[in-house]
Structure 1
Amino acid sequence: MIRRDLLAIAEMIDPGTRVLDIGCDDGALLDYLARTKQVDGRGIELSQAGVNGCVARGLSVIQGDADTDLRDYPAGSFDYAILSQTLQATRAPRTVLSHLARIGRRVIVSFPNFGHWRVRWALMAGGHMPNTPDLPYAWYDTPNIHLCTVQDFKTLAADLDLKIERLRALTSAGDPIPAWAARFPNLLAPQVVCLLKGR
């Protein structure tokens, strides 16, 4: 089984391409892409447990940190550079996204949307930092240090001269939200997946 938000990422990837998955966890996406799309996949994972899980699946994954290790990759060395549910946990999201755009011909980024109406309501009605399926940690215990909205991400992409080719608005479970709601992703999408390319 593979998470549905990872399936949304997989749909954006062409068969037979070279893929770098940063923050690849246990390698579920890389394994799925290798089996179903015959990609040449590589991964970087911070946790040793994640690296061990990837190696157990026969995947080519190294232990590394998106904030410090991406600068070592040559420009244009992959067709796709993927950062799934990790951007908000990096110390320097702008630098990380810039490296991804240099390394991959296309970039796929997914993240929880801090502009979602449930997050806004939790702040307004309760006066506390929100706790949702996409943001499940207490404010003092979260690995998410740079929360953003869909609009914030669009601004960052534009600042880096990246074009958003596709934006998939997803439910917390990773399913597409209804078409009418997808027209308002900043308010109605708990999480998004974006396919980007340099202009």
Structure 2
Amino acid sequence: MSKLRPDLQIIADNIVPYSRVLDIGCGDGALMAALRDDKDVDARGLEIDPANVSSAVAKGLSVVQGDADIDLSAYPDGSFDYAVLSQTLQTTHRPDVMLEELLRIGKQAFVSFPNFAHWRVRMSLLFGGRMPVTRLLPQTWYDTPNIHHVTIDDFRALVRDGKLQQEGQWFLSGDKQTSKAAANLLAEHAVFLLRG
């Protein structure tokens, strides 16, 4: 399999071959290309950035330009085996509604996001008094697309309150997987697999 960002690699490793996948916020299509080439997956993408759409289409991928907050309603119920939302949840207007849409469209949903409760973020706020700029959160507070600062514990509560089933969870510190013990403090990034 081609080299993917660590959260995308976890997702790719856990998608069954020959599945139907909708990658929402697919970027340049790296995950879609890997799934197509390595697992014979029928992958489709939705991406807001026109440059990323062009890049993905140039790779022979089926990607349309659209806004996840608005355009997911056009997809029929249960049209995919998996809906994927990677590093996009925190940029959506209503993450709770987004999860409902993901699980309406897909039988299962992968969601990954940066953990805003990671100890480096906490230390930056505590000692610097400013919103942090890190490897996973590289933009300044006024230039970031992140409008919801979600933590792992916040997401777990959203899943519980929405009565969703959690099928899997993976946590990353740097580019390596870490234990779920104290993940809210120690993990920089989280990946969840959900079922409605």
Q: TM-score, normalised by structure 1?
A: 0.94
Show CA shifts across 1:78-126 (max 9, x none): 0000000001111121111110011100000000001111111111111
2:121 corresponds to which letter in structure 1?
A: V
**What's the CA shift for 1:11?**
1.3
Instruction: Give secondary structure in 1 for the equivalent of 2:55.
Output: helix
Q: Which residue of structure 2 aligns with residue 154 of structure 1?
A: 156
**What's the CA shift for 1:134?**
1.4
Q: Which residue of structure 1 aligns with residue 186 of structure 2?
A: 188
**Segments of 4+ in structure 1 off by > 6 A?**
none
Q: 2:79 aligns with which of 67, 72, 77?
A: 77
- C-alpha distance in 2, partners of 1:98/1:18? 19
- C-alpha distance in 1, partners of 2:166/2:36? 25
Gaps of 5+ in 1: none
Instruction: Give secondary structure in 2 for the equivalent of 1:15.
Output: coil
Instruction: Give secondary structure in 2 for the equivalent of 1:154.
Output: helix
What are the residue-to-residue correspondences of 1:79-94 with 2, within 5 Å?
A: 79-94=81-96
- C-alpha distance in 2, partners of 1:172/1:74? 37
**What's the CA shift for 1:153?**
0.5
Identical columns (%): 54
Q: 2:119 aligns with which of 117, 120, 123?
A: 117
- C-alpha distance in 2, partners of 1:9/1:156? 21
- C-alpha distance in 2, partners of 1:155/1:187? 16
**What's the CA shift for 1:23?**
0.3
CA contact (8 A) 1:94 1:156 kept: yes
**What's the CA shift for 1:21?**
0.1
- The alignment status of 1:197 with 2:180, answered yes or no, reads no
**What's the CA shift for 1:4?**
2.2
Alignment: residue pair count? 194
Show CA shifts across 1:33-91 (max 9, x none): 01111111100000110110111010111001010000111111100000000011111
Q: TM-score, normalised by structure 2?
A: 0.96
Instruction: Give secondary structure in 2 for the equivalent of 1:115.
Output: coil
